[in-house]
């Protein structure tokens, strides 16, 4: 299974890319939480570029932590980061 942690040395943030698990969003989030982590929140252009480099050789889609679980609150990052950076995906 392709699963590893890598650190962005400029921010100290660690990322795990798990490319072989077929999980729902909720299962993926629970898996992260069991590891004392959270699904990805993309909050800055630097982070988007870093993640783009980590995933550029995969032809897969990955879960991120953006959701509308609380319909009245709108879009939210799972870890509680403010939803201010809007260019996290093309288009």
In this predicted model, which residue has the larger pLDDT, 69 or 29?
29
Count up the domains in the chain and report the number.
1
Domain for residue 83, yes or no?
Answer: no
In this predicted model, which residue has the larger pLDDT, 59 or 3?
59
**Model confidence at 89: pLDDT above 90:** no
pLDDT (mean) for 55-73: 86
Domain for residue 87, yes or no?
Answer: no
Model confidence, pTM: 0.80
Domain for residue 67, yes or no?
Answer: yes
- Kindly report, residue by residue over 24-53, the tens digit of the pLDDT: 999 999 999 999 999 999 888 899 999 999
Q: The domain that contains 43 carries what CATH number?
A: 3.10.100.10
Query: Which of 3-12, 15-24, 26-35, 55-64 is most confident?
Result: 26-35
Domain for residue 33, yes or no?
Answer: yes
Domain for residue 16, yes or no?
Answer: yes
16 vs 7, 64, 69, 74, CA distance in Å? 9, 12, 23, 27
Domain for residue 89, yes or no?
Answer: no
**Model confidence at 1: pLDDT above 50:** no
Q: Which domain holds residue 19?
A: 3-77
What's the confidence (pLDDT) of residue 85? 79
Q: Among 6, 3, 13, 90, which residue's Cα sits nearest to residue 54?
A: 6
Domain for residue 88, yes or no?
Answer: no
């Amino acid at each position: 299974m392709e699963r590893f942690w890598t650190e962005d040395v400029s921010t100290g943030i660690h990322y795990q890319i798990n490319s072989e698990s077929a999980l729902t969003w909720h299962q993926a989030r629970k898996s992260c939480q069991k590891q004392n982590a959270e699904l990805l929140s993309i909050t800055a252009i630097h982070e988007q570029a870093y993640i783009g480099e980590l995933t550029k050789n995969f032809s897969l889609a990955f879960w991120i932590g953006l959701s509308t679980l609380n319909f009245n609150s709108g879009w939210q990052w799972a870890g509680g980061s403010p939803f201010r950076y809007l260019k996290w995906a093309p288009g």
